[in-house]
Structure formats: C-alpha cells, structure tokens
Amino acid sequence: MRPEPHLIDYAIILLYFAFVLGIGFVLKKYMKTSTDFFLSGRSIPAWIAGLAFLSANLGAQEVIGMGASGAKYGISTSHFYWIGAVPAMLFVGVFMMPFYYGSRARSVPEYLKLRFDEKTRGFNAISFAVMTVFSSGVSMYAMGKLLQLLLGWNFTAAILISALIVLAYTFLGGLTSAIYNEVLQFFLIVMGFIPLVYLGLRDVGGWEGLKARIANDAMVHSWKYMGHSNANPMGVEWFGMLMGLAFVLSFGYWCTDFLVVQRAMAADSMTAARRTPVIAAFPKMVFPFLVILPGMIAGVVTSSKLHDARAQEGVVASTVAQSSFFTGGKGIIPPKYDAGGNPVTADGKVVLDYDLATPMMLVRYFPSGLLGLGLCALIASFMSGMAGNTTAFNTVWTYDIYQSYINKTASDQHYLWMGRAATVFGLAISLMAAFVAKEFNNILDVLQLVFAFVNAPLFATFMLGMFWKRTTGHGAFWGLLGGTVAAATHYGLTLPAGAVPGVKGGYLGPILHVYPSEMAQNFWTAIFAWVGCFTLTIVISLLTAPRPEAELRGLVYSLTAKPEEGGLKWYQKPATLAVIVLVLLFGLNLIFW
Amino acid sequence: MGFDIRMPIGMLFTLFGILLIGYGAATQGSATYAEHSLGVNVNVWWGGVLLAFGLAMIGLTRIRRKG
C-alpha cells in the first residue's frame, strides 16, 4: 500500500520549509544579545509560549508512539496525557515557575546553582546536555526510518535535509525562531490530524462502532480494568501507574526538563510564565483524540481496495471489516519483516510493527493533496522536537558548561557566538547519533535506559529544593546520585515477564522480582529512584550545614513573597485556569472510565 | 519580539487552502476519493477550512495592529 505522492504533496511540504526558513531569516536582526538568542529576551506572550511549550515536547515519538500505544493498549494510553502530563504541567506553572522565573535563572541547571551549588548544577547540566543531544538523534533516526519505510525516501537525505533546515532557523533566529515555528507546527499537526480522525471514525461508525469492532472491553476503558495488572493489556495496576507514571515520571519530566521549562522562562512576565504550562494543558487534554484514536482505528479497518475486491468475491461485509490488509498483520498494521521479507515471529505469534499504525492511517485515508498536509504535519512534529532539543542544548552548553567551567569572563557577544557554534555542533552530534542508531539498535535502548535512570530522581531534588529551606547542596547532589544508582540497581534486580537478562533488566545477577510487563517495571524503577533520592537528600541535608536564609530569598517557597495577582482578570490568573483544567480532566476520565 | 507570528501562520494556511481547493476542484470525481476518503472530496472541504483559518489569523493580526 505504498503511496505515490504527487506534485501537490511535494509543493505543500516545500512551501512549509520555505516559511519555516523565512521566519528564521526575518528574526536574525533581532538577535542582538545572548538573552535574545537563548531566552527570546524574555518577551514572549503567554499564548505563544504556551503553544510552544506543548509543541516542543510533541516530538514524532509522541505522534507515532501514541498511535502505536493506542493500537496495542487502547484508550488506556490516554493515561499518558490525563495522568502522566496535565497535573504536572499545572503544578510547574502554578507552583514552580515563581522560582524558575523569579530567580532570573537562565536555565534549569542555573537554578540549581543558585539554590544549591556548582556540583549539583554540573551533574544536571552535563547529564541533560548529553541526553538532549542524543534524544534529538533518536528522533532523527525514527523520522528517517519512517520516511524510508513509508515513502521510499533516502534515509540519509531525509535526515540531512531536515537537520539542515532546523539548523538554519535556530542558528539565525535562536529561541524565538524555534518558538514561532513550534506554534506553526502545532497548528499544522492539529490541522493535519483532525481530518484523519474524522474519516477514520466515520469509516468505523463512530466511537460506538469502534468499540464494537475492537471487541475487547479493556481496550476501550481507561480505569475500569486497572484494579489488577493482569486485567488490562498494559500489565499495570492503578497504584504503580499513579505513583510511577503520574507522579515520578511525569513530574520528573514536565517540572525539570529544560526543553519545556525554557519556553516558560522566555515569557514576558511572571504571570505569563506561570500561565504558559497551564495554557498548554488545554490542548494537551484534547490530543489523545488526535493521536491515540488513529492507532486504535488502524487495527480494525482495511483498505477500500481490499474491501471492494472481497465484496466482489461475495465475502460477507463484517468479515471483510476484520480482515487484515497485510498477511499476518492486523487491520492495516503490517507485521515486522526480517531481511528475507518474511514476518518476524516471537513465541509463535507474529510481531506487529505498531509504529506504522498512524502512518498507515495517513496513507489509507488521505488522497494526494491532503496527503501532503498529513506528511507535512508528521515532518513538522519531528522538526519541532529537534528544534526544542537544539535550543535547550545550546543554552545549557553555553551558560552552564562553557561559561561556568571553561570561560567565565568573556563578553556577551562571545557567548552569543558560542551559542551559534553550539547549535552547529549539537546538531552534528545528533546526526552522528542517528547514524549510530541505524547500525546498532541496541545502543538506542541502552541510552534510553540511562536517561530514564537519571531523570527519575530529579523531581525529588527540585521539590525539596523549592519547598524545604533546609535542603543543602550536599544533600541535593548525593541524593541525585543515590537516586540514579537506586534506579539502576532496581532495574538490575528485576525483569519483565518473558524477558532475558540484559537490556531489559536483571543484569546484576539475582532476579528478585518479575513484573507483568515492561511498563510496570519502568514505573516501579522510577518509584524506587524517587524514594531513594528523597530519603537520601533529607538525611544528608540534616547532617550538613544549610545556607543563610538571606541567600535563599526568591528561591524557596517559605522565603519568597507570593506572586502578585492584583490587577488580573479571572482568565489571567494561573490558579483559576488550572482549576478549570482539573475539572475538565476529571470529566474526561469519567467519560472514558 | 520581532513580528506578529499570526501573520506568517495565516499566510501559510491561506496558501495551503487555496492549493488544496484548486487541486480538489481539478480532480473532482476522480477514483482516488472513493479509494481513500470514503467518496468525499476532502481536498476541497478541508482546503476550505484551512483557508478560513488562515484568513482568520491574518484578520486577527489586523485587529491587533489597529488596537
């Protein structure tokens, strides 16, 4: 079912590239200082910062990955949004931005330096810099692989061209260019996917029709089957999910990852900065319908060509609906093929290529014209992720590594130059990582694992730093280190069901516990890491001397004045908006219970 | 900073809308719509939506500039 893009499709994509580059060119002349380049001069209006906050996070992994998850697990995937993102976004906006923005820190590691000490900043800066540049590479690899598989485009050409375009607009226009393009990419993704969901749902007979075709109640309810891990396809129970995903992992990402926090730091005022993540939460709540539903639909539809052919043979309509387009596939989801072109099997069952669920939907329902828009939306989602990683990297490199440890006293213009240089070598490293990932798939898995270990304890450190004045630098540093080790240890002593020791865990020797699924193991690793960091930080803080309170003003909750909300209208108050989001969130969870 | 981002967003979607409506009109009745989009000429329809959205964005820029 390989699509044949026509001239119109290429025209649409080229037009998008032209605009994205044009925006970069126009912004070049506004990049006069390093603050302009790395922080947009702190002048971005809340609605723009909010959409950029959401869009920078929306890498293709999300669009493709959520579709894959939807095909595999059903509507429970919404937990990644409704539990695993929105509450953390509200928290960072209402409670943490006053410290990020008020401290005038120019990055997340810099906040750690102001609140704690250099070694804590260094640990965070270096691990984040490495992580973000490799994440970008992984993104590029995923995009190249997809475009090659779907359209037959050359892998190297595809990633080189998109990397060069991202390089051009971030090099010229800095963070502002990345942010403006992220807003553009947001609208593109929304406008590209709404018709897909509409056509898909219409084809299966709406939500009720979809439920009937899927014929597995656990795939169409998000909470009903969470009582026990063997009752739902994800293999997780509600506690592991709430603590692991909702709390540790989600707060760990949204509250401490500079990629998103940077967009809020670029806002034009304290209230704008606080509102940025809350504004982003509104569309975030709706995204499950755009990205998860196509995955769910992909597993239960077929192509109309097959439908007509079978109908001519006299095959009954309902069985045609269930038949798969690819031999061994499910719906329009193909199996994974090995080098010989045969479907890969594991334990006698065919392994499906779930990542192709959403792309196959695009190919199935979009004629040429709209197909160009759909492909453009897909490419845009990759590029917004890449640009987000690039701007986060060049800032952390320049301010937290270069300025802190290598060259402390250069001029602002020199740092601006260094930022541009970092944009180039950051993307170069990402490109190399993408090529390495192509050759050695397992390296990818190892890398992702290490990053998960580093991320899991982070939120404990920030929470204690922002809300408990007694936390000390030694406590923070050793807590972070200890939490990371706890994660690696827990993972090394456990295994998910049916896996062999190695990259899936159990590498320390004795297997102390077998989890029902990889997801369950991940959530519990996160919980152990967080608890380890939390405990260690408190204990060591109590044993070491704190800094004088005067130095911590504006950095800790109890020593900072509450943000001024005097002259604001109700829809401008971050807390009021957050409450509205929570009410809507509760409603959504009830509807899909 | 710089310029109002709604202008380029508006322009791009207006152009997309025009392109899709034009292409859709030119391919009206083609078998590709029956094969893909359930017989509906989505290019014309969705092109119209994109055009409206693009013009609305440009309109918002104008209002902001006057105000």
Query: Do A179 and A47 touch, CB atoms closer than 8 A?
Result: no
Residues in chain B whose beta carbon is closer than 8 A to a beta carbon of chain A? 1-3, 5, 8-9, 11-13, 15-16, 19-20, 23-24, 27, 30, 32-38, 40, 42-43, 46-47, 49-50, 53
> Best residue in B7, B9, B36, B44 to probe A by mutation, most A CBs within 10 Å?
B36
Residue B56 pLDDT exceeds 90:
yes
Cα torsion for A161, A162, A164, A167, to the nearest 10°? 180
Per CB-CB distance under 8 Å, the chain B contacts of A4 are: none
> What is the reported pLDDT for A214?
83
Report d(CA A291, CA A57) in Å as an integer. 14
* Start-to-end C-alpha separation, chain B: 18
Per CB-CB distance under 8 Å, the chain B contacts of A373 are: 16, 20, 46, 50
Buried b (16+ CB within 10 A) or exposed e, A355-367: bbbbbbbbbbbbb
A53-67, A379-393, A531-545: segment of lowest average pLDDT: A53-67
Tens of pLDDT along A110-125? 999 999 999 999 999 9
Q: pLDDT: is A5 or A534 the higher one?
A: A534
Nearest partner of A131 among A260, A259, A266, A262, judged by Cα:
A259
The amino acid at residue A469 is K
Give the three-state DSSP class for A333: strand
Superfamily of segment(s) A7-439+547-561+570-591: Sodium/glucose cotransporter (1.20.1730.10)
A19-28, A93-102, A307-316, B57-66: segment of lowest average pLDDT: A307-316
> What is the reported pLDDT for A427?
95
Residues belonging to chain B? 67
The number of angstroms, rounded, from the C-alpha of A373 to the middle of its chain's C-alpha atoms is 22
pTM of this prediction?
0.90
**Chain A residue closest in CA terms to B33:** A367
> What is the reported pLDDT for A27?
92
Per CB-CB distance under 8 Å, the chain A contacts of B49 are: 191
Chain B closest-CA separation from residue A539 CA (Å): 46
A305-309, A314-318, A337-341, A546-550: segment of lowest average pLDDT: A314-318
Report d(CA A46, CA A179) in Å as an integer. 12
| CATH 1.20.1730.10 domain position(s) in chain A | 7-439+547-561+570-591
Chain B interface includes A219 (CB < 8 A) = no
Alpha helices in A258-323 (DSSP H): 258-265, 270-298, 304-313, 317-322
Secondary structure (H, E, C), A40-61? HHHCECHHHHHHHHHHHHCCHH
The CB-side HSE value for A100 (13 A sphere, CA atoms) comes to 33
Going by pLDDT thresholds of 50, 70 and 90, the confidence category of residue A321 is very low
Q: Is the ipTM of this complex over 0.90?
A: yes
Per CB-CB distance under 8 Å, the chain B contacts of A40 are: 1
> Best residue in B4, B13, B15, B23 to probe A by mutation, most A CBs within 10 Å?
B23
The amino acid at residue A76 is S
Tens of pLDDT along A185-241? 999 999 999 999 999 999 998 988 888 888 777 788 877 777 777 777 766 777 667
Interchain CB distance below 8 Å, A364 and B36: yes
Per CB-CB distance under 8 Å, the chain A contacts of B16 are: 12, 15, 373
Report d(CA A150, CA A359) in Å as an integer. 7
Give the three-state DSSP class for A21: helix
Per CB-CB distance under 8 Å, the chain A contacts of B26 are: none
Report d(CA A358, CA A300) in Å as an integer. 13
